[in-house]
Amino acid sequence: MAIPTVFIIHVSKGDSMSEANECLFCKIIAGEIPSNTVFEDDSTIAFSDIHPKAKVHVLIVPKKHYATVAELAQRDPSELSHMVGIAKSIADKEFHGAYRLIFNTGEDAGQSVFHVHAHVLTGEVLAE
């Protein structure tokens, strides 16, 4: 199984500037690309997915660029915990606390933007 090139660059250089310059989510965070923002604080932003897979499909994204959830967990576990809390708050507001939380890690797992993000799906009963 191949490790995404972006992750290799990020780890070996220890500098996420090149990734951030080309990153879709970094551009949304910087306000260069519009989004339907549903939550924002100093460290995190959450916005509606442009191709929703459920009635409510929100992406929760840390403002600091990390390629994968594994990298985030290692470098900033408190941010990962914060993201889970945001997911719960969104679900509490949208659908009595029930939600699905998904992190895709690696291209073969469906990760298409290599800036860690959690998919929160809620708002309806979800199929198995």
Q: Catalytic: 117?
A: yes
Q: Which pair of structure tokens corresponds to residue 80? A: 């990962």
Query: What residues contact residue 110 under an 8 Å CB cut-off, 6+ apart?
Result: 104
- Of the residues 10, 65, 115, 117, which is catalytic? 117
Q: What is the Cβ-side half-sphere exposure of residue 104, based on CA atoms within 13 angstroms?
A: 14
Q: Which pair of structure tokens corresponds to residue 102? A: 């998904």
Where do runs of H (alpha helix) occur along 5-127?
A: 5-13, 17-22, 24-29, 69-75, 77-94
Residues with catalytic function:
117
